[in-house]
Amino acid sequence: MPDITLTTLVLLCLAAAAAGWIDAVVGGGGLLLLPALLLGLPNVPAAHVLGTNKAVAIVGTSGAAITYVRRAPVRVGLAVRVGLMALAGSMGGAFFAAGISSEVLRPVIMVALLGVAAFVLLRPSFGTAVAGDTDTRPVTRARIVTAVVLVGGGIGFYDGLFGPGTGTFLVLALTAVLHLDLVTASATAKIVNVCTNAGALAMFAYQGSVLWQLAAVMALFNLAGAMAGARMALNRGSGFVRAVLLTVVFALVAKLGYDQWTA
């Protein structure tokens, strides 16, 4: 455990709880958790901050995934296949990340996110099917392959290359490709996130870049927030998830815009 004040620890735990809630509902919790760790641990090496972030996040993501699987119609087998491809994609993205400037990618991602927001706003019915309806519709083999290769491999590659908003992109892509409602898409995205987080955490742990004691404390709050978020999404339905989705998208655009402006 690094030498931090009680106030800092409390704030980090609250950030972990809020990040868990956001991530469980629609993805994007890392947008809050990682900056909080960077601010709270200014003298800790970046690798340790990233490793600790993964150790915290995987607990909340796993808890949310279990909550969703118990109560939502999730195709676990398909989710695992997409997750394994996302794991491979993220490793490829991480391999190329050192040679690509984030300053070049930020404007591209901002435009993509604004396009996503416009699409969701102009298509009020997008992802608003009642959870469970999609299970009665046949999903073609072509759509499954698209989900595994493009959603898993493509977004997994993006996660390793750049990262911000990966969970949000997963929810949107799964909704569009497989015609899932937003609740089921969020549930499926959680399983995919568990796979990618597990691979990253294994590498950080092998390198000794995880602050395990701090991660254990924060993980409890992250888990509580994630399970609360998953239950709220299940109880309130796709309309609620859609509202949170738009909020997170605009917050991400603002964050990337600020980073681009101050770079």
User: pLDDT tens, 170-195?
Assistant: 888 888 888 888 888 888 888 888 88
Residue 45: its pLDDT value, please? 83
Residue 134: its pLDDT value, please? 44
Structural domain boundaries, residue 63: 6-262
Nearest to 27 by CA among 151, 179, 213: 151
Evaluate whether residue 39 is within a structural domain: yes
Which band of pLDDT confidence, cut at 50, 70 and 90, is reported for residue 255?
A: confident
Residue 62: its pLDDT value, please? 92
Tell whether the model's pLDDT for residue 33 goes beyond 70. Answer: yes
Segment 155-166 mean pLDDT? 74
Q: How many residues does the chain have?
A: 263
pTM: 0.74
Evaluate whether residue 1 is within a structural domain: no
Evaluate whether residue 52 is within a structural domain: yes
Evaluate whether residue 210 is within a structural domain: yes
Residue 7: its pLDDT value, please? 92
Tell whether the model's pLDDT for residue 135 goes beyond 50. Answer: no
Residue 74: its pLDDT value, please? 81
Which band of pLDDT confidence, cut at 50, 70 and 90, is reported for residue 13?
A: very high
Residue 97: its pLDDT value, please? 56
Tell whether the model's pLDDT for residue 136 goes beyond 50. Answer: no
186 three-state secondary structure? helix
Evaluate whether residue 130 is within a structural domain: yes
Evaluate whether residue 90 is within a structural domain: yes
Residue 207: its pLDDT value, please? 82
Segment 16-26 mean pLDDT? 86
Which band of pLDDT confidence, cut at 50, 70 and 90, is reported for residue 85?
A: very high
Retrieve residue 20's tokens.
């868990």
Q: What average pLDDT does the chain have?
A: 80
Best mean pLDDT range from 67-81, 161-175, 246-260: 67-81
Enumerate helices (H) and strands (E) in the chain, giving the number of each: 11, 0
Residue of 31 and 97 predicted with greater confidence: 31
Evaluate whether residue 179 is within a structural domain: yes
Q: Which residues contact 145 (CB under 8 A, 6 or more apart)?
A: none
Measured CA to CA, the distance from residue 193 to residue 183 in angstroms comes to 15
Tell whether the model's pLDDT for residue 227 goes beyond 50. Answer: yes
> Cα 174 to the chain's mean position, in Å?
13
For the chain, list the strands marked E by DSSP.
Answer: none
Residue 240: its pLDDT value, please? 78
Measured CA to CA, the distance from residue 21 to residue 186 in angstroms comes to 12
Using CA of residue 164, residue 168, residue 171, residue 175, what is the dihedral sign?
A: negative
Residue 23: its pLDDT value, please? 82
Cβ(127)–Cβ(242) below 8 Å: yes
Tell whether the model's pLDDT for residue 133 goes beyond 60. Answer: no
Segment 129-134 mean pLDDT? 46
Question: How many domains does the structure of the chain reveal?
Answer: 1
Measured CA to CA, the distance from residue 158 to residue 163 in angstroms comes to 6
Residue of 240 and 222 predicted with greater confidence: 222
Burial profile 87-124: b = 16 or more Cβ within 10 angstroms, e = fewer: bbbbbebbeeeeeeebeebbeebbeebeebbeebeeee
Measured CA to CA, the distance from residue 258 to residue 248 in angstroms comes to 15
Which band of pLDDT confidence, cut at 50, 70 and 90, is reported for residue 106?
A: low
Evaluate whether residue 242 is within a structural domain: yes
